[in-house]
Amino acid sequence: MQPCVAVTGANRNIGAHLAARFLDEGFGVVAHYRSETAAIERLAARGARLVRGSFDDAAACTDIAERLAAAAPSLRAIIHNASSFAPTAADIPAAATQFQDFFAVHMLAPYILNTHLAAHLDGTPEAPADIIHITDIYADNPAPAQDLYCATKAGLQNLSLAFAKRYAPRIKVNAIQPGPISFEAWHDENHRSAVLEATPLGRMGSPEAIYAAVRAIMANDYQTGAVIPVDGGRRLGRG
Ligand SMILES: NC(=O)C1=CN([C@@H]2O[C@H](COP(=O)(O)OP(=O)(O)OC[C@H]3O[C@@H](n4cnc5c(N)ncnc54)[C@H](OP(=O)(O)O)[C@@H]3O)[C@@H](O)[C@H]2O)C=CC1
Ligand SMILES: Nc1nc2c(c(=O)[nH]1)N=C([C@H](O)[C@@H](O)CO)CN2
């Protein structure tokens, strides 16, 4: 039977690329998504099983976890890719709402899904399964304008270390820290130029670079609790 991988936020960009590449390589895929997109329809047409839902609160995360478990009784890996990214709002009530939303998708959802799905991960001490959290280089060195996003990504990164201890030796738990893979529409030209100027490799990364890091972690049976930047050196700057 083909090994199966669950990917969250699989309807666009990096998540959609990860799911498509796992299908290319003959894995079964359970694709979680929130909004309908052409990319999620393409994954379904290629045989991916779909689980739709929004990580709004504990009840919603638990419901999604149960539907993921039903869709894939046996899992080789779970990739926590889903994420919300926005500058912190200027007023406190709006920022407080953002904080709850970022906490739910970046920390509560991985916590609940991992706790529910650990028994469905088909690892052994000799051949461990994988949980991979996609964090951000900003988890270690936050951008003040996105402080709430960064803080919850740092929380996810810390959960990676706790889960690495909790689920060893049957499951490895690692984090990947992307650098500039894509820009948001609200990133102006000055920001884009400044980011690339501060990136030693001088160019944007790609979703394929993240997929390569995912597959390298899965291929290494002696790596857990690792935090792996895939950022063109962006975290170092040039100075
Ligand atoms: N792109 C980059 O340069 C960088 C990316 N990263 C990280 O890499 C990962 C992928 O990035 P990227 O592809 O750009 O991400 P996107 O922002 O393009 O997509 C995020 C995904 O998460 C889903 N999502 C967001 N909030 C929720 C929620 N509350 N419940 C369920 N699903 C939700 C989105 O669904 P919907 O379509 O419905 O909104 C979408 O599928 C993320 O974890 C991101 O933080 C880190 C650093 C840099
Ligand atoms: N969920 C997301 N997280 C992040 C995104 C994104 O588009 N979605 N993008 C970035 C930035 O582009 C950054 O890497 C470059 O300034 C960070 N996180």
Rounded to 10°, the helix 38-45/13-24 angle is 10
Burial class (CB in 10 A: 0-12, 13-18, 19+), 230: buried
Q: How far is the CA of 84 from the centre of ligand 1 (A)?
A: 5
Ligand 1 in reach of 182 Cβ (< 6 A): yes
Q: How far is the CA of 182 from the centre of ligand 1 (A)?
A: 11
Question: Residue 25, Cβ neighbours under 10 Å: how many?
Answer: 12
Ligand 1 in reach of 55 Cβ (< 6 A): yes
- Give the pocket of ligand 2 (CB within 6 Å): 83, 85, 136, 180, 182-184, 195
Q: Strands across the sheet with 129-134, in order?
A: 49-52, 28-33, 4-7, 77-80, 129-134, 171-178, 227-230
Quick: pLDDT tens for 155-166: 999 999 999 999
Q: Is there a contact between 38 and 12 (Cβ–Cβ < 8 Å)? A: no
User: How far, rounded to the nearest angstrom, does the alpha carbon of residue 20 sit from its chain's CA centroid?
Assistant: 15
End-to-end CA distance of the chain: 51
One-letter amino acid at 107 equals M
Q: Of the bound ligands, which one is closest to the alpha carbon of residue 152?
A: 1
Ligand 1 in reach of 180 Cβ (< 6 A): yes
Q: How far is the CA of 175 from the centre of ligand 2 (A)?
A: 16
Element (H, E) at 199: none
Q: Is position 149 annotated as part of the catalytic site?
A: yes
Q: Of the bound ligands, which one is closest to the alpha carbon of residue 79?
A: 1
Quick: pLDDT tens for 13-22: 999 999 999 9
User: What does the alpha-carbon distance between residue 155 and residue 140 come to, in Å, rounded to a whole number?
Assistant: 10
Please tell me the chain's helix, strand, coil percentages from 3-state DSSP, rounded to the nearest 5: 50, 15, 35
User: What does the alpha-carbon distance between residue 190 and residue 76 come to, in Å, rounded to a whole number?
Assistant: 42
Q: Whose CA is nearest to atom 34 of ligand 1?
A: 9
Q: Of the bound ligands, which one is closest to the alpha carbon of residue 182?
A: 1
Domain 4-234 has CATH 2.40.70.10: no
The best mutation among 8, 34, 107, 156 to test binding of ligand 1, ranked by most ligand atoms within 8 Å of the C-beta, falls on 34
Name the residue ranges covered by the structural domains of the chain: 4-234
User: What does the alpha-carbon distance between residue 194 and residue 183 come to, in Å, rounded to a whole number?
Assistant: 12
Residue owning tokens 């944007």? 204
Asked whether the ipTM of the predicted complex exceeds the cut of 0.90, the reply is yes
Per-run averaged pLDDT (10 residues), the chain, 239 residues: 95 98 98 98 98 98 98 96 98 98 98 98 98 98 97 98 98 98 90 94 97 98 98 94
Q: Which atom of ligand 2 is nearest to the CA of 137?
A: 14
The predicted structure's pLDDT at residue 185: 87
Residue among 149, 167, 211, 222 flagged as catalytic? 149
Q: How far is the CA of 39 from the centre of ligand 2 (A)?
A: 19
Residue owning tokens 């893979």? 181
